[in-house]
Structure 1
Amino acid sequence: MNPLGEFLRSRRGVIRPQDAGLVRYGERRRVTGLRREELAQLAGVSVSYYTRLEQGQAPNVSDEVLDAVARALHLDPGERAHLFALARPGRAATEPAERATTAPPGLHQMLAMMPDVPAMVLGAATEVYAWNPLGHALLAWHLDEVPNMSRAVFLDPLTRALYADWPGKARSVVAYLRLAAGRYRDDQRVTGLVAELRAGSPEFAAMWAEHPVSTCETMTYDMVHPVVGPLTVNQHTLRLEETPDLMLVTFTVEPNSPSAAALRMLGGLPRQAAPARSPAPRRSSVAIR
């Protein structure tokens, strides 16, 4: 498997020649996107060199060439970063031994100071290391154990039903995991999760084959919560400089909106609070952890 080649081919396939400024003279084409030689022309490199790059045989590719390819493919910043990570796996990946396995005390304190904002701390493989009670009530009211959020979205029916536009939410999960798989290529937590979801969810496998890539830093979701009804939340993902493989994820709503009223109602309902220090994820009866 060549992740770099798969990514480049997927992006070549969605760019029409006319969108790239190439003149067509009525010739019949076997492909709808760009040919290798056309992309090489746009990037200003030889066809043979671009072919080696797509085959994963150009380990010392320069920043200039990667930037030129990114421009030719119209990559956004997240996709460009993904391209660099795939082209230089040795530089992009952090050794698994250096990864965080728990949320540091400062993040637990931060969660405790945010009682009115659903929030959680995720690891690189979207495993939950900590969350506040409102985050628990919003996202996993039906679970006592700490889940893996990607696994929950695809394999837990109640989590799936939470999102009014489940395909949109699912695609954003796949887009983030594509980014994580490029950055943490040797981390079994990430690669194992992807393998499990590809085997257990045909929908995940189909979306994975499309190679979506996104940092998913700011997203908006319509939810249908079984306890308080519909609400619209804005998800914000922050990565911390000292622990870049951990993410602080918060969910906000428009002030004085029906969603704000629903969130206040959810916060006022009696429930079993999530633990202040979440344990390592474990497998539960609904095959999520």
Structure 2
Amino acid sequence: MCAALAGDPSRLRGRERSIAWRHSAGLPSRVTHEPDQLAHFEAAVVSDPRSSTVRYPGDPRVRRLVTDPREVSGRFEELWQSHVVGFHSSDRKTVRHPHLGPVTVNWATLTVPGSDLRIAVYSAPPGSRTAQQFEMLAAIGSRTCAPETG
């Protein structure tokens, strides 16, 4: 369902799989944020790799999670230098689906303290337009949805 909604990430390789990289580099995404949501999202996008560098200070792959976005984005660099803190927790976001149009979802990120596991959960109020769109996504699947690779 996630691939059907947001685009199939299985074809993405290397840093293209990093949300921080994709957002910082301005790569295409079906997700849009309102200005206040964007500020919260960007703080979390910077905070996630910051916490990873603390947990894995010698890992070159983790270091690239920070250096790659800093090289291409003044905004990422600004937030990195400000030591902003944010967390992926819950909010609403709109995904522009190529066949269904805008799909506004409630989302929550579930985490296990002390682990790197994060699970994104998208939901819709029963009987809502989004719930109907979810039913349509379940029917069409991701076979008609090309990945967002730029």
TM-score normalised by the shorter chain: which range applies? 0.7 to 0.9
The match for 1:248 is 119
Q: Any idea what the Cα deviations from partners look like across 1:229-275, whole Å, max 9, x if unmatched?
A: 2222232222347x8222222222222211222222222225339xx
Unaligned runs of 5+ in 2: none
Larger Rg: 1
The match for 1:262 is 133
What is the CA–CA distance in structure 2 between the aligned matches of 1:175 and 1:238, rounded to whole Å? 16
Tell me by how many angstroms 1:141 deviates: 4.1
- Assess if the C-alpha contact under 8 Å between 2:3 and 2:142 holds in 1: no
The match for 2:143 is 272
**TM-score for both structures, normalised by structure 2:** 0.72
- Assess if the C-alpha contact under 8 Å between 2:43 and 2:87 holds in 1: no
What is the CA–CA distance in structure 2 between the aligned matches of 1:140 and 1:170, rounded to whole Å? 21
**TM-score for both structures, normalised by structure 1:** 0.41
The match for 1:189 is 61
Q: How does 1:20-59 map to 2 (within 5 A)?
A: none
1:138 aligns with 2:8: no
Residues 1:237 and 1:152: Cα distance change in structure 2 (over 3 Å) = same
Residues 1:150 and 1:140: Cα distance change in structure 2 (over 3 Å) = farther
The match for 2:31 is 162
Tell me by how many angstroms 1:197 deviates: 0.4
- Assess if the C-alpha contact under 8 Å between 1:162 and 1:225 holds in 2: no
Higher relative contact order (CA 8 A, sep 6+): 2
- The 4+ residue runs of structure 1 with deviation greater than 4 A are none
What is the CA–CA distance in structure 1 between the aligned matches of 2:26 and 2:135, rounded to whole Å? 26
Sequence identity (%): 24
Equivalent residues, number? 141
What is the CA–CA distance in structure 2 between the aligned matches of 1:180 and 1:268, rounded to whole Å? 38
Give the secondary-structure state (helix, strand or coil) at the position aligned to 1:157: coil
Q: How does 1:74-93 map to 2 (within 5 A)?
A: none
Unaligned runs of 5+ in 1: 1-133, 274-284
Coordinate RMSD, CA, aligned: 3.0
Which residue identity is paired with 2:69? Answer: L
Residues 1:207 and 1:178: Cα distance change in structure 2 (over 3 Å) = same
| Match among 201, 206, 210 for residue 73 of structure 2 | 201
Higher strand share: 2
What is the CA–CA distance in structure 1 between the aligned matches of 2:25 and 2:97, rounded to whole Å? 18
Q: Any idea what the Cα deviations from partners look like across 1:190-222, whole Å, max 9, x if unmatched?
A: 221110000012222122222221232323323
